[in-house]
Amino acid sequence: MKLETDRAGILKRMQSNYECFVPHDLKYLKFNIDEEFQNLINRAYLLLGRLDGMATTLPDINLFVSMYVQKEAVISSQIEGTQASLIDVLQKDRKNEKIKDTEEIVNYIKATNYAFKRLEELPLCMRLIKETHSILLSGVRGNEKSPGEFRKSQNWIGYAGCKLNTASFVPPAPGEMEKSLTDLEKYIHEDSFIPNLIKIALIHYQFETIHPFLDGNGRMGRLLIVLFLKERGLIEYPVLYLSYFFKKNRNKYYELLNNVRVKGEFEEWIKFFIKGICEISEDAISSIQKIIELKKADIEKIRNIPKGNISNLLLIYDYLLRHPFLETEDIRRLSDLSKPTVNKLLETLIELEILELVEEKKRYKQYVYRKYVDILSEGTTL
């Protein structure tokens, strides 16, 4: 790695005869915001406000947040090589063959929920980040790489099997890393005139550049974005994640991060990041609108049945929103109804084109709320 400028940091030669990249403290960074740049920032704030406003009007916001966190967990884990889709997670109790991969995703969900709750007690700090990381890697791939602890050895980034001297990027050595993390924590909380959306773009870049963990840096760095937005009051619920945008633009994402280090191109990176905020806000707004419209239309279908047990159908429908894959036994446990009655209710939901039969085996039938799953699954297919 050779630097064209030292705007972002310097290369430091270590005793073991290799060079690592040491980023400068972000508080010394200066850049210009032109009119186009400012308009982009204003649009992002507008969309964030609209998204948060729509989310708070949902009658079952906690249900939507739960599903959206699952969606984010899937996409963020896929970026790291996890071979599981949202459908695999929703079917995780069906003994599917991707159970190990779904465990990584479940950990991401647990880590997100933990971090949001912990923000009520702690500021966004390195302690909170380490605690969250511990949950992220608990009992899954990477759990031998010191979950919840910053690394004490040198790591590097490059093609599979590459060595330190052939790596495409070498983050700061442990001693330099500790100072960089201290500077970053101060930068997160110091008052400045920099817009928060620019600040989190820089914080995400700096975290990925420092690469403080032996594993899980990408997932933790992406989670850091939504935690910062929450702490700054820009979002109330975890319904905005950039993983889908980063996944769609993966090569561009890595190229721009590297160009900051090598060429000092902070402005290009920030614009890319804020465009991602705009695009993902619009996607989330669209998903909310589609779910509201779908729910309204399907409840209307149920209420308009001339004959039938409408109250039990609505009970099943409410369960479907939380568990879009279900079996007859799920409803029997929920309602205490007889098996023939449950089967009749499920047949009615199929006739209304709300449910679909997924698979039929001797002992059970499995059904899916397909239209709902399709909305939630956008961007999560492999």
Catalytic residues: 211
370 annotated as a binding-site residue: no
Is 308 annotated to bind a ligand? Reply is: no
Query: According to the annotation, is 126 in a ligand binding site?
Result: no
Q: Is 304 annotated as a binding residue?
A: no
221 is in an annotated binding site: yes
Is residue 222 marked as binding?
A: yes
Q: Is 317 annotated as a binding residue?
A: no
Residue 28 marked as a ligand binder: no
**Residue 216 annotated as part of some ligand binding site:** yes
Buried b (16+ CB within 10 A) or exposed e, 256-273: bbbbbbbebbbeebbbbb
On whether 322 is known to bind a ligand per the annotation, the reply is no
What residues form the annotated binding site for ATP? Answer: 80, 211, 215-222, 253-254
What residues form the annotated binding site? Answer: 80, 211, 215-222, 253-254
